[in-house]
Every structure is written in structure tokens, then in C-alpha cells.
Amino acid sequence: MSKPSILDEQGRGAAAQEALGYNRSMLKQRTIKELVRATGVGLHSGRKVELTLRPAGPDTGIVFRRVDLDPIVSIPSSAHVVGDTRMASVLIKDDARVSTVEHVMSACAGLGIDNLVIDVTAEEIPIMDGSASSFVFLLQQAGVQEQPSARKFIRVLKDVEVRQGSGAAEKWARLSPHNGYKLDFFIEFNHPAVDGTMQRASVDFGDITYVRDVARARTFGFMQDVESLRGMGLARGGSFENAIVMDEYRILNADGLRYEDEFVRHKILDAIGDLYLVGHPLLASYTAHKSGHALNNDLLRALLAQPDSYEIVSFDALDTAPPSYVKQMTREWAQS
């Protein structure tokens, strides 16, 4: 019997990949293989909430469902349904709210999940450990499934920028053309614990892995703000288990920081989630100076208000697709 040729082996390998739902010739949409569940508390509401992640069909996008309401209310993720940005990104439809969506949205963006239904039994996504790592774990536990439809991207064609304030209080955020996805963020809190770390960080999806380099960065807060926040109905579920907590001088968490620049890295994690509310992965460079949920949403609305500033594209051949997104499957899912 003759020995199989290299071409024969490659052909069988490609056929096996096709059988598993992977098409080498096209950058495809992705969902999860099976549903997964978790329980936690809301950072701001302090209420117990059950979270269920369900597979969804092509072109569904990320959809949140308030299954505790009768009838159930579905809220597709969109920059235009963000109705509150005090300390979190909140989606609102009629009287129904889903709060603190940025961490689970960030995990979906980082792992390249296009289509997902997220059921919640309260008005807030559970905070888990204050980062996106628990949502990464849930998605990896569910497994990834490629789908028979091309993945759609929003390619930024020209600079779009929004600004607030002036002088030392000025904040701004910008999207610029880039054949991939990278983020550059600067923070300034005038606090010894924050100022003692790096206040600027950059991540390029072509060089880093979201799972290792971004997902574990936790939210943070200051003890002196707790009472006023709780008076506003916020931070009622905050604790050392789900946030970096500081007094006037130092970090109070016994385990310290996970990254030497964890504060600014968490702001990047938030921005990735906020920006994924545009509905598709971005082909863009994001640069921000002291931005937050409100300004990130303003930036998306400014982009969408200028039809000549972007286009929706897909890639029928992998060799024409941005390398960072081609690598995303093997780079991120190899972490599971």
C-alpha cells in the first residue's frame, strides 16, 4: 500500500475541521456549544442573580433577557439602548433594565463570541470577582461553535473623537482607522495607590491574549466613596472579594494586585466591553484620556451618527482578514 501524500493528509485534516464546524476559507461567526449557568450578586444592587448563557443563531448578536419579568423582556445589546452610565453601562428598554453589562460583553469580545443569549433573574449582571475572568471561564466551559455565516466587522474609516470638560478636568476618547484592534488608555486619580502604579497601558489584540493579559483585571473603588455611592443605590454588593478597595493611602486587599498596572488595565477591560455594544467587533484603534462608560457610549453614538466614518465588512478568505482576529480562535481558546 502506498504511503499517503502530504496533500492527502492535509485534505483529511481540512475535512476533519469542516466536520467540526471550522471552515478554513472564511472568518466565521461564533456562538457557544451548550448553555452554562452561574449565580452571583450585583455589584450595585447587592441582589442575588442567576445568569444563564445560551447558544444563539447567526446574526443574533448578544441579547440580554430579563427572565424574571412577565412577559420576558429581551434587550439586544446596542449603543442606542444604553440609558444609564453611572458607574456601569446599563441597557434600558421601556421599564426593564440590565445593568453592569460591560464585563460579560468584554469577555465575549475578547473570546470572539458574536451570538449569545444571556438570561438574568434580576436587573444586574453578577459582579463575580470584579473582572471578566469568571465570564471567560463560563464561555470556555460552554465551548465555542463556529457558524455558517461570515463574521461582520465595523471598520473605522476616519478619526471620530468626543471630549468633555476642559483643562485638568478634560476627558476624551477617539477611534481611528487600524487593520486590527488596539486600545491605549490613560488614567489619573491623584491617589497614592493608583499613582504608584502605571497610569497608561496599551493592548494590541495582535500581540496579547485577552484571557491572560486583560480578563483578570478587577474593578476598584475607594472606601471614602462607599457611603455616598450606597446613598445613590450603588455599590451595595461591593466587597474585597469583587473589587480592589483603597482607603486614602493604600490598597486594603490582602492579596494586592494581579497586574502591576491593574487599575488602568481594568479601564481597558471596561472599554472593550463598552465598545462591543456597537454590535460587531471593531477594526480600529481606540485612544482614551480619563474616559469612562458615558464617554465610551458617546463615542459609539458619534461614530454611528457619521455613516462615512465606518463600513461593515466581512472576510471570505482568511488571508485577507486582519491577522489579530484570525489568531483569536487559537490564541484565546487554547487557554481553556
Rounded Cα gap, residues 117 and 65, in angstroms: 7
- Active-site residue list: 293
What's the burial of 203, exposed, middle or buried (CB within 10 Å: 0-12/13-18/19+)?
buried
- Cell for 332? 484565546
103 labeled binding residue = yes
- CB–CB of 271/183 below 8 Å? yes
What's the burial of 16, exposed, middle or buried (CB within 10 Å: 0-12/13-18/19+)?
exposed
Looking at the chain, which runs of residues are DSSP E strands? 28-32, 36-41, 48-55, 62-66, 73-76, 82-84, 90-93, 96-98, 116-120, 144-150, 153-156, 160-164, 171-176, 181-186, 200-204, 220-222, 244-246, 282-289, 310-313
270 labeled binding residue = yes
Q: Supply the Cα-derived Rg of the chain in whole angstroms.
A: 20
- CB–CB of 257/244 below 8 Å? yes
Which segments are annotated as binding site?
Answer: 103, 266, 270
Which segments are annotated as binding site for Zn(2+)?
Answer: 103, 266, 270
